């Protein structure tokens, strides 16, 4: 089994965590054993109710069509009072608006909830061999190993080194003694 996060091949299918990235693999092995389906998620999705956002918007649309278009035309044909026809039109417009608004605010979503589905990533696929302008393969890897001969790192020729023995230690020792004397004569606070 391969880790779906980093692609690391695991030692066995019973491994609890990925050895590279630490992703918990217990649930993934259960999904593989069930053929890509978890019965627990099916139980969660079965509990959906009729009253959800999608159905609320549909009811609001039917409310608008029924009161605004059907009822006003029907009562207009029957020579009902104009106040009643106007009241039906207002009820259809504002009633449907309130139903849609209330369903979007208060009712639960109609989409099934799959926990952790957003974070799931497929392992990277093997690189595809692409060709450049001259039909040579473009590998997405490190360049070939190069070696540098040891003669490059050989000691330089005689005379190019500066001999450090020609430095005059007497001057540096004298300067150190003067600095030490200055430190001794400084007043301490």
Task: State pLDDT tens for residues 87-113.
Answer: 999 999 999 999 999 999 988 887 765
In this structure, what token pair is assigned to residue 60? 């609001």
pLDDT at 133: 60
Burial class of residue 6 in the structure, from the number of CB atoms within 10 Å of its CB (0-12 exposed, 13-18 middle, 19+ buried): middle
Residues 6 or more apart in contact with residue 186 via CB below 8 angstroms = none
**Of the segments 27-41, 51-65, 130-144, which one has the largest average pLDDT value?**
51-65
For residue 171, give the H/E element and its range: helix 169-185
Which of 111 and 57 is assigned the larger pLDDT? 57
The predicted model gives 66-77 an average pLDDT of 92
The predicted model gives 39-68 an average pLDDT of 82
Residues 6 or more apart in contact with residue 99 via CB below 8 angstroms = 56, 59, 60, 63
Torsion sign, CA atoms 126, 132, 138, 142? negative
d(CA 88, CA 118): 46
d(CA 67, CA 76): 12
């Amino acid at each position: 089994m391969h880790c779906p996060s980093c692609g690391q091949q695991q030692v066995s299918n019973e491994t609890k965590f990925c050895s590279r990235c630490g992703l918990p693999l217990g649930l993934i092995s259960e999904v593989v054993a069930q053929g890509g389906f978890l019965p627990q998620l099916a139980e969660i999705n079965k509990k959906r109710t009729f009253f959800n956002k999608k159905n609320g918007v549909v009811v609001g649309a039917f409310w608008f069509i029924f009161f605004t278009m059907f009822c006003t035309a029907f009562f207009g044909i029957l020579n009902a009072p104009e106040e009643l026809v106007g009241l039906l039109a207002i009820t259809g417009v504002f009633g449907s608006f309130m139903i849609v608004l209330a369903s979007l605010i208060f009712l639960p979503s109609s989409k099934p909830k799959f926990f952790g589905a957003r974070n799931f990533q497929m392992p990277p696929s093997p690189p595809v061999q692409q060709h450049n302008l001259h039909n040579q393969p473009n590998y997405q890897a490190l360049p070939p190993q190069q070696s540098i001969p040891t003669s490059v790192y050989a000691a330089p020729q005689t005379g190019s080194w500066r001999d450090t023995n020609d430095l005059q230690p007497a001057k540096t020792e004298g300067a150190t003694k003067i600095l030490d004397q200055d430190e001794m004569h400084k007043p301490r606070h």
